[in-house]
Amino acid sequence: MDKENIEYKIQIIKDAFDEKRNIIGYAPNEMINVNEDCHQGGDIFITDKNELIDLEYQDFDEAELAKYVELAEELYEKNKVQISIYVLCPRTVRILAPECRIKSEATFTIKLACWGGNPVYDMLFQIKEKIEKGICLNDEDIYNLEMIPIMGPKEERKNLRIECLRLMNRALR
């Protein structure tokens, strides 16, 4: 993944979740490999203090929350560091609490933030959710993946294009 895309995602974390820690890049595989029955996480970053931040783009319900708690506990058990799960949701999110604290022996936080007002993000989110659930994309979904970069904000077009190409590649495998 190119440096611009990593910086873009780090900026999303800082802006959407008011993150003040110094994020240095993606976490090394040896820190983030978890039991294959556990959710493998989205983009997992590491801070300069070796804390882990997982950035997810998801619709969010109670089942997703349980999945993230399990991931946080596994990552904590493996690394014994603060774990943060940040979930960027569409405005139609089904859980309304902006921050979830769950009783656990692990030290972790789960925070939610909603995507901004541009509808292309909702469209992108819905397509990504279909792919993650193994649902075949229809012609309209493919067309939307082609159009999302053009319809998004100019300053985000490159990153949107990369994300759409990545999703299209996953969907057509």
* pLDDT value of position 115: 65
Q: Which residues of 32-66 are buried (b: 16+ CB within 10 A; e: fewer)?
A: bebeeeebebbbbbbbeeebbbbbbbbbbeeebbe
Query: What is the arithmetic mean of pLDDT over 77-95?
Result: 82
* pLDDT value of position 73: 93
More confident residue, 127 or 21: 21
More confident residue, 20 or 11: 20
* pLDDT value of position 48: 97
| Among 1-5, 27-31, 58-62, 153-157, the least confident range | 1-5
* pLDDT value of position 2: 61
Q: What is the mean pLDDT of the chain?
A: 84
pLDDT digits (tens, 9 = 90+) for 90-115: 666 656 555 556 678 888 888 888 76
pTM greater than 0.75 (yes/no): no
* pLDDT value of position 118: 66
Q: What is the DSSP string of 106-145?
A: S-EEEEEEE--S-HHHHHHHHHHHHHHTTPPP-HHHHHHH
**Domain extents in the chain:** 1-116, 117-173
| Among 15-24, 31-40, 69-78, the least confident range | 31-40
